[in-house]
Amino acid sequence: MKEEKLTVKIELIGVEEATAKAERYVELLKEAKTLADELASTELDLTYLIQE
């Protein structure tokens, strides 16, 4: 069987914008994880002051 080569030109619309959004999403996820870790390691003082 004879091999044939085919050259195809394609144009992807919106890929750069989608990539930028995905990168921003990853950064937000990293920030959210850092905040969640900080909150998890925070000790809260829930002392109530009772005034008579």
Query: Where do the structural domains in the chain lie, given as residue ranges?
Result: 14-38
Question: What pTM, to 2 d.p., does this model score?
Answer: 0.60
Q: What's the chain's length in residues?
A: 52
Cα gap 24→46, rounded to integer Å: 36
Looking at residue 52, what is its pLDDT? 59
Residue with tokens 């998890």: 40
Handedness of CA 8, 14, 20, 22 (dihedral sign): negative
CA–CA dist 5, 48 (Å, integer): 78
pLDDT in tens, the chain (52 residues): 899 999 999 999 999 999 999 999 999 999 999 999 999 998 877 777 666 5
pLDDT at residue number 1: 84
d(CA 22, CA 28): 10
